[in-house]
């Protein structure tokens, strides 16, 4: 059985790995948030935690919202 401390350690490592990835905007968000969050909410998450990746995530949001023909 996992203790609360070991679960916290696993969660922290998953989030750290996501944060440290080269492109978190296209990496799966830990703890099921990839499917739970809308693209707009993912943009807000990226903007909050990885401000240097805001523009690539904004492009994903715009393409999804307005269609692939918009660049």
Residues 22-38 have pLDDT tens digits of 999 999 999 889 999 99
Over residues 48-64, the mean pLDDT reads 94
Euclidean distance between CA atoms 70 and 11, whole angstroms: 37
What Cα–Cα distance (Å) separates residue 65 from each residue in 4, 8, 22, 35?
40, 35, 24, 17
Contact 67, 54 (CB under 8 A): no
Please tell me the predicted confidence (pLDDT) of residue 70: 52
Tell me the C-alpha distance between 6 and 68, whole Å.
43
């Amino acid at each position: 059985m996992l203790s609360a401390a070991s679960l916290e350690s696993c969660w922290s490592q998953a989030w750290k790995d996501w944060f440290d990835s080269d492109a978190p905007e296209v990496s799966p968000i830990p703890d099921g948030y990839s499917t739970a969050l809308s693209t707009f909410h993912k943009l807000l998450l990226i903007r909050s935690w990885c401000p240097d990746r805001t523009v690539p995530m904004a492009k994903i949001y715009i393409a999804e919202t307005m269609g692939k023909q918009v660049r």
